[in-house]
Amino acid sequence: MKYQSIDEANRAVLDKIVGSAPFLTDVVPAKSVIKELEEKVILHAGPPIKWDDMTGPMQGSCVGATLFEGWAQTEDEAKQMLANGEVEFMPCHHVNAVGPMGGITTGNMPVFVVENRSEDNQAYCIMNEGIGKVLRFGAYSKEVIDRLHWMKDVLGPTLSKALQKTEAGLNINVMVAKAITMGDEFHQRNIAASLIFLKEVAPLIVQVDMDENDRKDVMQFLADTDQFFLNIMMATGKAVLDGARKIQEGTVVTAMCRNGKDFGIRISGMGDEWFTAPVNTPQGLFFTGYTQEDANSDIGDSAITETFGVGGFAMIAAPGVTRFVGAGGFDDALSTSNEMMEICIDQNPNFTVPTWDFNGICLGIDARKVVETGIEPVINTGIAHKEPGVGQIGAGTVRAPLACFEKAIEAYAQKLGLI
Amino acid sequence: MKYQSIDEANRAVLDKIVGSAPFLTDVVPAKSVIKELEEKVILHAGPPIKWDDMTGPMQGSCVGATLFEGWAQTEDEAKQMLANGEVEFMPCHHVNAVGPMGGITTGNMPVFVVENRSEDNQAYCIMNEGIGKVLRFGAYSKEVIDRLHWMKDVLGPTLSKALQKTEAGLNINVMVAKAITMGDEFHQRNIAASLIFLKEVAPLIVQVDMDENDRKDVMQFLADTDQFFLNIMMATGKAVLDGARKIQEGTVVTAMCRNGKDFGIRISGMGDEWFTAPVNTPQGLFFTGYTQEDANSDIGDSAITETFGVGGFAMIAAPGVTRFVGAGGFDDALSTSNEMMEICIDQNPNFTVPTWDFNGICLGIDARKVVETGIEPVINTGIAHKEPGVGQIGAGTVRAPLACFEKAIEAYAQKLGLI
């Protein structure tokens, strides 16, 4: 390889992460930037998976997307269509995208466009629908589909027009740097970043030429949706890490994702290849009426936030989230972040954490360190009901399975001719 | 007295603080709620003070207020009028108000109205003007006066109309509870609370019937003004502590304020009486071009935030502020809050601090404990230039002088016939 050592290659990958320049530039229909979505294609979270292997919430989301796109008129019709191969499935990650929970994305859903200006690449993610019955957790009732149509017809176009009033889009690094000082970890807690986003767009939205009731609805939705920034953070993590993995050497983890059946990772030295192992099931706290027994197995592309160095890795930045995910108090948050530093290479000076005595967030999971220490990456996650149609039932933490990292290191060692 | 002990009296005062129910209900011209301001009266920060004894920034603010009200047309004319007794001076605290830095408040300035529904009392505070050249720090250039007119003609009326669209005003306890989890200490750091306020009013402002350019200006001003919530917090502290000091027994500190010359405190057992001592001068960090030598002595009613239990007392809630006020890192923030607990009676369960392992903020400074331990209350403060007309030059911390507390305890002991 062109580097003197794996450490040197890893440093080059990290330099691209630290030097990244992600900007939120637009909100557009997914099919306008992902050509594959002009056909009957559904994007899903995690590594590749077939319809029969999908868990309840992902299947439920597919039903919802099929109804939303008008490909089917009834739930039964949709299920038949999905089961008999009329719709093609494809991982979000294969088309510069990421998706939360089921990750289900189709052509007419609006997506955030995040441009990474240091590497001239883009990434996409659908918008956050709020809480309760939502598509990403597998719900597909009329309320869910109606909201998706409103997001397509009103919310997306409004944000697009608002963003066009900026000179260069919104500088995401600035928003993240502010919000990490305000107790967000950007996976289960995005309340500060969502408010910072609102502060940026509210003065623009009042300048958009639009229906006054729609304007009020948009402003209210953004004011109410505490997790709105999560999906911007996901697209950012994807854009930054895809930029960094242009360097195809080293052992830096460049993606972690789950399809409900398999956990998949990529490392810089192995390009697009997935290394998978069966997912675990999150442990956490449940909304009233639900228990651990109702929990679906681990699912979603949102672990791109941990890959970037936030989420569970930044637990210490967000002691407010620990009680939401059942991860103890302040000392437990500190222990978690300190433990994650044992499998990371450095700390990112762009995003310093006051509660960590102003140290930077974790930078670069080294798959070698995961294997050597046996410390599995921790992920803060929402918990879906295992049956389709129910939605979110809690939040908690889950670990990435060690086997993914062992397989990746073995493959890279073979590629380098070391074994 | 009607209580068995001083401790029991103090507990009754604390119960009123914990049980308080402050709501932001309106923004109105000061003279509409403070009848004294129908005349040529200027309210100022701190205990009573004469024109000749005022420091530079307070005198500068008085000049600005005189120009704003149109009582004088030039700076010289204003100074003459202020010096020759044509204008009456009165502490904000004497008319249910508080004011930041100079605290200068006149009849046509809009004020926040905070209703404490548990005790059926109100408190008032002018609105935050943003940073740079601003009246409260002693600046009075055209830019300053023009902004005050815009606040009177546009910002105030818009917020009033927006608040009228709520059912009962904005529940301040909820906003404070959220923001303390997001790293605010509500004196030098209000960035989260200001965003939460924006989130509450933005959907209301888009419903106000008003000029579109004005609407854009209002939204932009609120989005840009990180310290906007400070003045709401000050009115809240005043409303809550004035409600609590209806109990006229005990040694709970119910006000701390500074006029640039004297530091003044009140304790529950001594009602309206001020106990004063010469102020200290804040130590801190200075904006480029300024040094400690330029610093004005301690000034402003904003120490009502520390009296309430936030500000410097809640340093641990806001590790992000420690570097702004030159107060070290995370461990220093922790030490500061722990030290302040030594002079407080309890912790307020309404506002738990994740970075303090979910303990409540400090509740009830006991003047006895200040005297016994010699620990002087710490205050996070802005620093004004000592010359009129310049404005803010830095931020830092300052201590309340011990002598105030010694005088208060002596007076209360005499009242109880103990000495």
Closest-CA distance, B7 to chain A, in angstroms, reads 32
A319 interfacial to chain B (CB closer than 8 Å): yes
Give chain B positions within 8 Å (CB) of A357.
Answer: 329-331
pLDDT digits (tens, 9 = 90+) for B222-267: 999 999 999 999 999 999 999 999 999 999 999 999 999 999 999 9
- Average pLDDT (A341-345) is 98
Is B206's CB within 8 Å of A206's CB?
Answer: yes
Give chain B positions within 8 Å (CB) of A199.
Answer: 195, 198, 223
pLDDT at B326 over 90: no
Strand duo B88-91 + B41-44: pairing? parallel
- Distance CA(B137)–CA(B50), nearest Å, equals 18
pLDDT at A316: 96
Is A195's CB within 8 Å of B192's CB?
Answer: yes
A338 interfacial to chain B (CB closer than 8 Å): no
pLDDT digits (tens, 9 = 90+) for B165-222: 999 999 999 999 999 999 999 999 999 999 999 999 999 999 999 999 999 999 999 9
Quick one: which of B202, B194, B162 has its CA closest to B178? B194
Chain A, nearest residue to B205 by Cα: A216
Closest-CA distance, A155 to chain B, in angstroms, reads 14
pLDDT at A202 over 80: yes
pLDDT at B391: 86
Percent of chain A with pLDDT over 70: 100
Do residues A394 and A249 touch, judged by C-beta distance below 8 A? no
Do residues A108 and A29 touch, judged by C-beta distance below 8 A? yes
pLDDT at A389: 83
Closest-CA distance, B165 to chain A, in angstroms, reads 13
Q: What is the ipTM of this complex?
A: 0.91
Residue A357 burial (C-beta neighbours within 10 Å; 0-12, 13-18, 19+): middle
Angle at which helices B228-244 and B191-205 cross, to 10°: 100
- Distance CA(B339)–CA(B329), nearest Å, equals 16
Cβ within 8 Å of residue B178, ≥6 positions away: A191, B192, B193, B196
A219 interfacial to chain B (CB closer than 8 Å): yes
Chain A, nearest residue to B357 by Cα: A330
Closest-CA distance, A353 to chain B, in angstroms, reads 8
DSSP letter assigned to residue A252: B
Is B320's CB within 8 Å of A206's CB?
Answer: no
pLDDT at B327 over 80: no
pLDDT digits (tens, 9 = 90+) for A120-175: 999 999 999 998 889 999 999 999 999 999 999 999 999 999 999 999 999 999 99
- Distance CA(B17)–CA(B260), nearest Å, equals 28
Residue B226's alpha-carbon distances to A14, B10, B109, B309, B379, in angstroms, are 33, 35, 21, 21, 19
Range with lowest mean pLDDT among B95-104, B198-207, B213-222, B390-399:
B390-399
Backbone angles phi, psi at A353, to 5 degrees: -110, 110
Hey, what are B255's tokens?
Answer: 């006000």
Do residues B218 and B154 touch, judged by C-beta distance below 8 A? yes
Do residues A338 and A291 touch, judged by C-beta distance below 8 A? no
pLDDT at B277 over 80: yes
H-helix segments, A69-211: 75-83, 142-150, 156-164, 172-180, 191-205
- Distance CA(A75)–CA(A64), nearest Å, equals 8
Chain B, nearest residue to A207 by Cα: B216
CB pairs under 8 A between A and B: 92
Domains of chain A and CATH, by start: 249-415 (3.90.1700.10)
State the best of A181, A200, A201, A315 to mutate against chain B, taking most chain B CBs within 10 Å. A181
pLDDT at B325 over 90: no
pLDDT at A278 over 90: yes
Hey, what are B217's tokens?
Answer: 């200006």
